[in-house]
Amino acid sequence: MHRRVIDGRFELMERLGGGGMGLVWRAWDVALHREVALKEVRPPDPSMDEHDPAGARELRARVLREARALARLNHPHVATIHHIVDPGEQGYPWIVMELVTGGSLQDRIQRGAMSPQEVARLGREVLSALRAAHAVGIQHRDVKPANVLLREDGRSVLTDFGIAAVRESTSLTATGSFIGSPEYMAPERINGVEGDPASDFWSLGMMLYVAVEGRHPLRRSTTLATLAAVLNQEVPPPERAGALTPVLSALLRRDPAARPDADTLDRMLAAAADPGATPPPMP
């Protein structure tokens, strides 16, 4: 069977998934003889090149900037970027990443809720990845269980920072596309405010809530109803979170300024991961 080869080196084997930013493939690196994940970056509006060429150029440039910044991180909980294929004006970049084979956090949650200690440990790992990205000026904007991959040894890897590059794309208003996951998006971002690292922390909090409770507290039957619930309805107190409850309460505050900073959050998660430790004071 003939398979498509990218850049004369990466043979596409199997489509792994897709979203607002494009498709992810399992691929074979014919030079180094190893499997990799290949992300095919594409705008949400296929006609963007035609009706907004300036926006398309800016999108390409921003995708490349963010991919290069992430490639320099070398962080154990950020998916490693091996290579970037830049076709120039003829197409959008392909990002070559490590292939993480243990499934996603979403797959794990579908098998049942996790213990508060497990979730707290995972939360610290994802928080460390977010802190590393924030330190180089990148906000994730789409923290959710499907974007947390699990290595075979159980360690987590945060992936798909791509929403950051398409959020400002002018094609979004032209086509009405909705980029991101409304049930995990911070209220201020739904309201059109760019947000800051605290907005990623809301999404982290909602993800941890779902992991420990096994259900999403504000998901409704339609996207619009979910958006309205996130904007207007209080998050019901968790029932299974135990020592993780103060963390969830602190993160899921509607005022971004009231959410804990990264240092405080890490101490709170450490205490929840080790219930025998002395808990830190509430922020």
| Residues with active-site annotation | 142
What's the token pair of residue 31? 């030079």
Q: What is the DSSP string of 140-198?
A: -S---GGGEEE-TTS-EEE---THHHHTT-THHHHHT---S-GGGS-HHHHTT----HH
19: three-class secondary structure by DSSP: strand
Cβ atoms within 10 Å of 167's Cβ, excluding its own = 18
Tell me if 38 sits within 8 A of 96, measured CB to CB: yes
Q: What angle do CA 173, 133, 250 make, to 5 degrees?
A: 85
The strand pairing partners of 78, in sequence order, are 158
